[in-house]
Every structure is written in C-alpha cells, then in structure tokens.
Chains A and B, each alone.
Chain A
Amino acid sequence: MPRKKPGITSKRVNQIAPSGIRRFFDLVASMEGVISLGVGEPDFPTPWHIREAAIYSVEKGYTMYTSNLGMPELRQELAKYLKKEYKLDYDPETELLVTVGVSEGVDLATRAILDPGDEVIMADPGYVSYSSCVVLAGGKAVMVPTSEKSNFELSADDIEKRVTDKTKAILIGYPANPTGAVMSRDKLEKIAGVARRHGLIIISDEIYSSLVYGVEHTCAATLPRMKDSTVLLGGFSKAYAMTGWRIGYAASNKDIIGAMFKVHQYTIMCAPTMGQVAAIEALKSGDDSVNEMVADYNRRRRFMVRGLNKIGLPCFEPKGAFYAFPSIKATGLSSNEFAEKLLIEEKVAVIPGSAFGQCGEGYIRCCYATSLADIEEALARMGRFVGRHKG
C-alpha cells in the first residue's frame, strides 16, 4: 500500500482557521474614499521627541544587535516604570525581557509554559491572536463567553467552571480589544483567587493599560501573592503611538522569563535596536505626550459613543482602549453582513465583532482613534445605513 502522503503544512498550523474577513480586508484596500473605523492603532504619529531620539541613534551608529534580553538601559527604565506605576520590583537582569511588541510576548509566554494539551482560559470576544498563539504552542484555548450585560468582563465563576486538571493559565487582556471594556479591581481579585486556588498562571496583556477614561486600571501582578504567577506583557505601541516600532516587554518571575528568553533568543535574537532607543526616550520623557493623547481620545470616545447610540446602534460605555463595540442586532444583519454592506453602500469600514469570537456576533468594532471630522462623517453615513436596514 502506498504511504499516505503527508500534508505539506503542519496539522498544528492547519488547526488555525484562516481569517474569515481576509476578503473584507482586500475589498477595503481596493476602494477609494473609504472612512476607516477599522484600524487598531493611534492616528497620531509617534511624538517627535521620540522619533528624533531614534534618528539621532541611527546617525550615531546604533545599528547593531543589542543584548538578547534588550538594551540594559531600557530594562532599567522599564524596572523604574513598573516600580512607579505599579509599585512592583522586577530585576532588570533576570525578570524583564524586551520583546517585539506584545504580540511576541503572547507567543513566548504560551510557548514557555504550555505542554501539549494544556488549556488556557480566555474571554470571548477577545483579541484574535490569543487563541491562535495557544494552539500554535500546542495548547487548547478554552473560551469563556462574556456579554454586554456584564460589561464584557470575565467572571471568576465562569472561569472556575472551566478549570480542569489540564488548565495551565488564564489569559486576560484589559482594557480590551475589541470591546473597550476595563476589568474592575473587584472582579480581577476574584479571578486571582481562582488562579491561586488552582495554581494557574495569569498572562496579562497590558498593552492598553494607559488608555483608560475616568477609571483605574488594575494590573493582575499587583494583587496579593500574584506577582510571581503573573506574566505581565506591556508595550509601547498604543500609549506612545509607536505601533510600527514593534517594542514590547515581558515581566515575570525569573523561571518564566528564562524560558521565554530561550525561545526569544533562538527565534528573534533581539528586538529592533532603533525601536529600543525610541522606547528609552518614551519612558524617560513621554508622560506628557501620553496624557495629551488620552485627553484627546476621551473627547472622541464620548463623541463616538453618543453618536452610535443616537443612530440606533446601542453601545455600552467603553472605559478603555480606543474602541467602541456597539450592538447591531436591531438591523437583523449578521456582523459580517453589516460590515460588508456598510462598506459597499456607504464606504465606512468597521470590523465585524464575530472576528473576535462567537460572542462578538451581533456587534461591530469601531475605532475612534481617527480624526473627529472622519468620525462625524462616518456616523452620518452609518446613520443613513441603519435607517435603511432597521429590521
């Protein structure tokens, strides 16, 4: 009997569904005059003082590899920042690792802690890379439904119900993409309780931690007895408008960082040098620019949320990140249909909520990190659209 021909691509990779909205992306890219609320990054360019520092570093010849862990000065600045922000002490020599954005951080963290079949509990809807990274690391993503009724916050009870002897970690990302939800300290404490009881690791994506509006963001690592069992993943992309620089960091105990470091060392070598120099400048004197951007986002946030509610797309109040996540159920359209029809009929791009998990069905993600004039025009177009399609 002839040997069965193995597939060219690995079963593991085949397990990851191709993005269902790739076609939609291509369609957006091919059209003229589209107002996009479908972005996931600030509309500000990186503050000039940060760009200027990076330009200077290139002129001075900072063009070589850095330490695998990241530039010592950057790790020291990060340690200072985490001390100031969260009163947490991380040793810059053994407990901090500079990564290529939080994206690499999620990949490293899952690869560092998961054995085949290990389970990671996370929220649905949630950021697209979480479950895929878990699968690529050989693990299983266990989704916990969240809903508008509970402000899209994960509940400790729902997590508890899904804990098995295979459960290794809980992956959380608040303030959240796509919902803009912020996790209250109270609820996070209960989740930390579950983690402690079952000896689970919390992987916490803190990329939007600076972008909160009138509420406090609580970092899981700051809760009692949680620092050692939390992998804190932070980055510069959103707060400092530095998405293209690809700089993030991981902070945890030295065993986990050591394991993440092994993977990082052989796959990445080191994060981009120019980006690391820019990140040092951001940490040393970026506070004012962050505060100004946050104040500005907050104005647009109110404008967007109020506008969506007005045109008949009820929107729960997002307290963080830069996304609004309105319900489109009144139109009777699926979120894919809504996004595609809206694009074709009114040339406004939004992201269907279903791209972020089953529980995102019936919602769309609208990013308000775009000019006020564009938000206004987009809302007017969406208003017409909803008027026509109200079921």
Chain B
Amino acid sequence: MIKEILKILENDARTTPAKIATMTGKPAAEVAKAIKKAEKDGTILKYKTIVNWEKAGNPQVSALIEVRVAPQRDVGFDSLAERIYRFPEARSVYLLSGTYDLLVLVTAKTMQEAASFVTRKLALIEGVQGTTTHFMLKKYKEDGEILADGGETKRQPVIL
C-alpha cells in the first residue's frame, strides 16, 4: 500500500490522507498511519514545492560541477563526499561511475557566488584533484515538471 501512497504524494504532496484513502480504497486511519511511519523512518524525507524561480522574478544560477577526487583508505569516497555535501551551496551530490567521481549541483544568486564556492571552497578541499564547472543556461524540465510554457492541447468538451 505504501508504494501507491508514495506515488500519489510524489505527484501532489498536498493530497490529504482522506483523499488518498478514497483513491486507494483503504481506510483513512490506515493511510494516515502508513504516512506517519514513512515520515518517521525517512522514506518520506520532506514535502517541498517545485518553484519556477525565473517566473517569480528571482532567477538563480545553477551549476553542475564534476569533481575528481582521490578516494581514501577505509572510508573510500564517503568522507570526501561528506566534506562537500555539508556545504549548503551543494544542493545535490552524487557519486558516479565514469570519467569523474562526484557530481555536485550548486545553486547561487549570482555566477560570482557560484564560482567563488568552487574556487574558494570546493577546489581547495584536500583530496579534490580537479573540477569542471558547467553553468546551466536554461532549465527545460525540473523533477519531472516541464518548465517551458507549452500551450495545453484542449479536448473537445463533449464526446459520446
């Protein structure tokens, strides 16, 4: 049951337990309990809003930074990754296979601010061997939501 609940919430975090209960055909108390449990055990991390900041007149600068690091004995990549993900500027941090090791998503108010995070903090961390910064030019889709203003196609209002 929890998977179905999570799917509904992932699509719209504001769906009430009562509504989810109707949609899934399960008792409301059971649904509420399952959600509480998922919140407690960290299955549900947080309820957030996807904002189109550009539209809000408050554009952000985002950059994806490839980071090559030297893994350390015993702790591998984890401890270095932690040194990086503790910075609030790092919105997302991933360990990847391929030509570099960590991918860090940084958001900042200006390009200077993002650049200074890289040159003054990230690149100087011990074990970091090199970085390549890619500034985002345009966001087309975020977390499954298309940001471009596409005209919705309309259905005929009545069809037999």
Contact = CB atoms under 8 A, between A and B. Distances in A.
Nearest to B155: A39
Contacts of A73: none
Interface of B: 4, 7-8, 12, 19, 22-25, 153, 155-160
B158 to A, nearest CB: 4
- 3 closest Cβ pairs, A-B complex: A299-B23, A38-B158, A40-B159
A43 B158 contact: no
Given A45-B153, A303-B19, A351 B158 contact: yes
10 contacts: A29-B158, A34-B157, A36-B155, A40-B160, A41-B155, A45-B153, A128-B160, A349-B157, A351-B160, A356-B160
Contact of A36 (B7, B8, B24, B157): B157
A36 B19 contact: no
Interface string A94-108: 000000000000000
Interface string A4-46: 0000000000000001000011001100001010111101010
A28 B24 contact: no
B22 to A, nearest CB: 5
A361 to B, nearest CB: 16
Q: Which of A24, A36, A128 has most chain B Cβ within 10 Å? A: A36
Given A45-B153, A299-B8, A349 B22 contact: no
A300 B157 contact: no
A355 interface: yes
Contacts of B157: 25, 28-29, 34, 36, 38-39, 349
Given A127-B160, A351-B158, 5 more contacts: A29-B157, A39-B155, A39-B158, A128-B160, A372-B12
Nearest to B26: A302
Nearest to A376: B19
A306 interface: yes
Contacts of A295: 4, 7
Contacts of B24: 299, 302
| Chain A residues touching B, majority SS | helix
Contacts, number: 51
B158 A28 contact: yes
Interface in A164-209: none
A302 B22 contact: yes
Contacts of B22: 302-303, 306-307
A302 B25 contact: yes
B160 A355 contact: yes
Contacts of B19: 303
Nearest to A37: B158
A303 B158 contact: no
Contacts of B156: 39
A349 B22 CA distance: 23
A214 B142 CA distance: 34
Of listed A28, A295, A372, residue having the most chain B CB within 10 A: A372
The interface centre, meaning the residue of A25, A299, A351 with most chain B CB atoms within 10 A of its CB, is A299
A40 B25 CA distance: 25
B159 A39 contact: yes
Nearest to B158: A38
Contacts of B158: 24-25, 28-29, 36, 38-39, 349, 351
A38 B159 contact: yes
A41 B159 contact: yes
A12 B157 CA distance: 30
